[in-house]
Structure 1
């Protein structure tokens, strides 16, 4: 057979990530990953539990969650997926002690209510029969950001044309 590129841009690997972006797409740039969060919390990312995906995959997941929850690509003035991911992880590192957060464990409703900033937290979920750490977006005071219809009221340079 001819050795070529995998048919998918994501391939399953038995190493650090369940889903890893095709290396051809990532060799030019190291994508910020949850290694940053784990290191900031005092863990060694190399020996931590397997992650759902590599840095690019995690950033896409978080970006999709932000759009789904807020209706906009970025929150709090962030301008790139990577900057937003780092911002959310920095907020999580800063919130860990005050809220008694534990890696792998979902936030309780009390912890969510006590959030003062939006965060990304690593939670353990079963995917394809494997336990992996998945980045989960939590929005602070989410109720106050939504209009009475559940629509988000936010924006930069908004022009309404009637």
Structure 2
């Protein structure tokens, strides 16, 4: 499974990938597992339009998830704790502030490999010309708000 709107280190950074995977497993165990859907994305946090995702990428489902015990966004939590970065084209910039704060605090993987996480963040901040699947428009006057990211 892939969590929509974020990206974590992958096979090119196996140590960081393992640490991010372990962090997600620990959070899921602590907070009652994961509840995932194609429609749970944190739309209110978006700053701009975002590209729609396909149902799958690299053979994995693209889903938005929450922790059942506290309804916190898995994407927001992983970014806030420093185990993933905002993937702007698919998040609409929803997690940029959380990512900047995690980087400044050297939270999670930012404290292990700051430069590697910075490079990933720069790559995932790029927005290509147009979307492959379609665009989800930013609602005018939508209020940005953050849920629990403990």
TM-score between both structures, scaled by the size of structure 1 = 0.25
TM-score between both structures, scaled by the size of structure 2 = 0.26
| Higher RCO structure (Cα 8 Å, ≥6 apart) | 2
Larger radius of gyration: 1
